[in-house]
Amino acid sequence: MKNEDLKHLVKEKYGAIAAVDTQTGSASCCCGSGCCGEAPYASFNDNYSGPEGYNPEADLNLGCGLPTEFAGIREGDRVLDLGSGAGNDCFVARSQTGAKGRVTGLDMTEAMVQKARENLAKTGFDNIDFVAGDIEDMPFPDHAFDVVISNCVLNLVPEKARAFREIFRVLKPGGHFCISDVVLQGELPAALKEAAEMYAGCVSGAMQKREYLDFIEGSGFSDIVLHKSKPIILPEDLLLKYLSDKEVHDLLEGKSGIYSITVGASK
């Protein structure tokens, strides 16, 4: 697929997810009842029951980590959340910045931005905003943020090197980021890697762990820290839609693997 086709696919998939009522589970779009829950991203999410500021209505089970846990967000910080979805990590980050800080969520799916704004309207907070835009070409000035966070999103960005250069640009000197994302170790079977549904579910868009860390270093960042790494085990019945019995066995036995990592670095 071309880059623009991939972006269209992601917008379509996550637009459908945004249309699902988080209280009733019903969908008002082509996604249909139940189909969203069968997608692979549902298997990645970390437990958000602990963090202060957690807003269940903003949690669509789309993350693969807890970047705010390691982000070192301080009172008064200006924080940017890339691929903010319905606002889940933004609300947690706001509990850390307090009223003196400001949190901005950026998402390229208009339906997600609208859903986040609806969730925000219920809180009364006046220091969070949600903006529609592309991570590869952010609508923000240079040196605008103290901290950048992101949760299971950059693997969906076709031009990852460009995305990391943009993160570097919008961070203030001395600023830092903390990102949870999906990476690979070893090669996935081609049928799994190339499947469009799996791309929108964060697997096929993932890159090798070493290459991912090299992108960060090549973008000018220093003090790179791998805070957390955990294997992601996809359901066997899902894998069998794409792979042979032998390929599933090899994947589950660890000859190749999918991992969630949380990584930080400084400008």
In this prediction, residues 178-187 reach a mean pLDDT of 91
Please give the structure tokens belonging to residue 171: 């961070």
Q: Give 220 or 238, the one with higher predicted confidence.
A: 220
Q: What is the DSSP letter of 183?
A: E
pLDDT band at 147 (very low <50, low <70, confident <90, very high): very high
Per-residue pLDDT at 25: 46
| Calpha distance 204→160 (Å, rounded) | 14
| Calpha distance 265→267 (Å, rounded) | 7
CA-based torsion, 245, 247, 253, 259: positive or negative = negative
CB 201 within 8 A of CB 253: no
216, HSE (Cβ side, Cα atoms, 13 Å): 24
DSSP code per residue over 16-40: HHHTB-TTT--BSSTT-TTTGGGSG
| Calpha distance 144→171 (Å, rounded) | 6
Which has the closest alpha carbon to 59: 70, 48, 50, 51?
Answer: 48
Residue 24 scores a pLDDT above 60:
no
Range from 77-86, 110-119, 135-144, 184-193 carrying the lowest mean pLDDT: 184-193
Q: What residue spans define the domains of the chain? A: 3-266
Residue 145 scores a pLDDT above 80:
yes
Q: Which distant-in-sequence residues (6+ apart) come within 8 Å of 82 by Cβ?
A: 106, 135, 148, 149, 150, 153, 154, 163, 167, 179
pTM attached to this predicted model: 0.86
CATH of domain 3-266: 3.40.50.150
- Angle between the N-to-C axes of helices 160-170 and 209-218, in degrees from 0 to 180, rounded to the nearest 10: 40
pLDDT band at 31 (very low <50, low <70, confident <90, very high): very low
CB 39 within 8 A of CB 197: yes
CB 11 within 8 A of CB 108: yes
Average pLDDT of the chain is: 85
pLDDT band at 126 (very low <50, low <70, confident <90, very high): very high
Per-residue pLDDT at 115: 96
CA-based torsion, 12, 18, 22, 26: positive or negative = negative
CB 266 within 8 A of CB 216: no
For the chain, give the number of residues: 267
